[in-house]
Every structure is written in structure tokens, then in C-alpha cells.
Amino acid sequence: MKFRTIGVLTSGGDAPGINPCIRAVVRSAIAQGVEVIGIQEGFDGLIRGEMSHLRVRDVSGIIHRGGTFLRTARCPEFLNPKGQRQALRELNEAGIDGLVVIGGDGSMKGTHVLAELGFPVVGAPASIDNDVWGTDMSLGVDTALNTIMHAVDKLRDTASSHQRAFLVETMGRGCGYLALIVGVICGAEIILIPEVEARLEQVSEAVEDAYARGKTHAIIIAAEGASLDVDEVAAHLNAHEVGFETRVTILGHVPRGGSPTAFDRMLATRMGVKAVEALLGGKTDVMVGLEGREIITIPLEEVIKSSRCPNMGFYEMALILAR
């Protein structure tokens, strides 16, 4: 099939790296004589027909910016066949021959639906959670990790001055990846993640033990999806004689923003270029992903069947090293 025009949209939770990915999609398509239409606000904007042509200059000055200049949305309407058919109608009416969707695991499910309706699509994984199956890293993960790491480093300064324990909650939905990696690289006493059941007593023992070993502070990293709630843990620690007073910091959406790191900009650029290459080369119903050092394509059917799980070897490693 000869592609004259392709579309690009960003969907679901935003992540640093999406903007440089859009830039790579737009410029690599135009370099091959293909026009690009940018669709606003994900599947929602698609259903409403909110789109316009993107030219080379339209993606100037975004390579270093977090968020997505096309804006994003969660779109319940697209979960229904009626909304999906409306989206397809809009794509056809706009003369779009193929679509690149940049988003998380939910967005990849939506992308697969369009492929099943016969529309050529390629996905690119973007989610700070790093729960998308089929890629070692999604866009935004490295930036989010660095943001959380710097926040914990700062909290450690004040924790140490006041001899306190800090409970830091990270995002991640049902996946403990961010909390686990930050736990390792920030030397946490204990890491609370959805993949591991924990008891309140385990946390207080670990903190008390850190105090007894002469530590000046204790850091506990908790994923938002962990079985123990951070306020419940803090109340338990403050009610018991663990040595340190405890404070809670919930990072919330902070790691979702910010200028993408060098790693994320490079990954975004490579994924954007590969997505266009795959689409124009006749591939459809696939996602681009990072496997080792290579950018590969993987069938969306495989991607949406599973979720990527963090390497639990890192959990054991963190516990051993938190001496």
C-alpha cells in the first residue's frame, strides 16, 4: 500500500519523551514524502475529528519538553464499538492511511482494536510505569526514575539532619518498577511494591534495625499500588519506638513531568523513526520496543496479553545491600 498521509496521536497518561517521539514521527515521515496529521487529545480528539496537518516547523522546539504538545486524554467512549467505528470514520474522512499511537498499555489495547477493524497502525510505548509488555523500557521511565531519585536524595538530607524516617510514595499504578529501582539506587531500608506482600511489623523492624545499626535516617520507598498504605505505615511507625520520627512524602504526578533525559530523547527518537519505517514498510498491528540495544517490532496481540513485571532479583539485591 502507498501511504500518502499518516496520523499521530498521544493517549493515556503522558510521559516525558512523547514530544521528541512525535517530532521523530513527523520529520521522518515528511522526509519520505508522506504528510502527517496530528490528532489532538488521543482517541477522544479522534472521535471528535480534532486534527490538523503537522509540518516540519510545527515540531520545532519540543525535543526537550515534557508532556505532549498534541495533548492527551483517557477516552471511555473509545471502549465501545460505537466510539471505535466513529474513530475509524474520522480517520477515513481525513484521508489518513495509517496511524502511530504513542501511549501506555491501555492505549496499545485501543490501537489493536483499530488494527482489528482493518486500519494500519503502529504503537509506541510511553508510560512512566514501565508495565508495557514487549519493551525493556517505555518512554518516560528513565526521566521519572531520575526525578524520583533526585527527590529522595533531597529528602535524605533533611531526614539525616533531623534523624527521621521518610516514607516516599511513587506512582506506578499496579506495577512496582519505579519504586523498586529507586529503592535500589537510593539505598532504601525497605521497598513496598504490589508484587511483594508486606506486613507492618516488617517495616517497623527494618526501620528499628537501621536505627540500632547507627544510621542517621531511614528511607522507605512505597509504590502507590503496594498492599500497605503509606499513611497506615507512618501511623504504625510513629506509634512504635523505632528510633526515628516518620514523615510521608507523596510524589504524585511530579515524576510525570519534566524535560526528558538524554536516554528518553534518544529512545523516543529511535522509536518514532522505527514506527514510521514499520508503518510505511507495510507492518501493522505492531508496537515498537527496545530489546537490548535494538528497536524491534512486536505484535500488539502479544503486547496486550501480558504486563511487564519488574526483575525481582533487584528486590533481593536491595535488601542485602541495605546494611
Paired residues of 287 in beta bridges: 123, 298
Angle of CA points 109, 59, 128, to nearest 5°: 40
The grid coordinates listed for 224 are 502507590
Among 13, 110, 183, 289, binds ligand F6P (CB under 6 A): 13
Contacts with ligand ADP, 287-306, as mask; x by CB under 6 A = --------------------
* CA atoms of 183 and 314, how far apart (whole Å): 9
Nearer to ligand F6P by C-beta: 170 or 297? 170
Residue 129 among the catalytic residues: yes
Site for ligand ADP in 9-28 (CB under 6 A): 11-13
* Binding flag, residue 110, ligand ADP (CB under 6 A): yes
Among 86, 111, 127, 130, the residue binding ligand F6P under the rule CB under 6 A is 127
Sign of the CA dihedral 231, 234, 240, 245?
A: negative
String of contacts with ligand ADP for each residue 62-101, x by CB under 6 A:
------------xx--xx----------------------
171 lies in the site for ligand F6P, by CB under 6 A: yes
Number of residues that bind ligand ADP (CB under 6 A): 17
Contacts of 177 (CB under 8 A, 6+ apart): 129, 130, 131, 141, 308, 310
Q: Contact between 105 and ligand ADP (CB under 6 A)?
A: yes
Separation between Cα atoms, residue 291 and residue 312, nearest integer Å = 19
> Are the beta carbons of 19 and 269 closer than 8 angstroms?
no
Judged by CB under 6 A, the residue of 256, 265, 283, 308 near ligand F6P is 256
Confirm or reject binding of residue 113 to ligand ADP (CB under 6 A).
yes
Buried b or exposed e, range 184-206, using 16+ CB within 10 angstroms:
bbbebbbbbbbbeebeeeebbeb
Which residues face 126 on adjacent strands?
139
Concatenate the DSSP letters of all residues of 100-140 into one string: EEEE-HHHHHHHHHHHHTT--EEEEEB-TT--BTT-S--BT
> Are the C-beta atoms of 51 and 39 separated by less than 8 Å?
yes
Of 104, 176, 194, 310, the one binding ligand F6P (CB under 6 A) is 104
Can you tell me which of 8, 59, 128, 184 binds ligand F6P, judged by CB under 6 A?
128
Which phi and psi (to 5°) does residue 60 adopt? -75, 145
Q: Give me the catalytic one of 14, 97, 105, 129.
A: 129
User: Residue from 120, 134, 172, 272 that binds ligand F6P (CB under 6 A)?
Assistant: 172
Q: Which does 256 bind (CB under 5 to 8 A by kind): ligand F6P, ligand ADP, none?
A: ligand F6P
Binding footprint of ligand F6P on the chain (CB under 6 A)? 13, 104, 127-129, 171-173, 224, 256
Binding footprint of ligand ADP on the chain (CB under 6 A)? 11-13, 43, 74-75, 78-79, 103-107, 109-110, 113, 127
Write out the catalytic residue numbers.
129
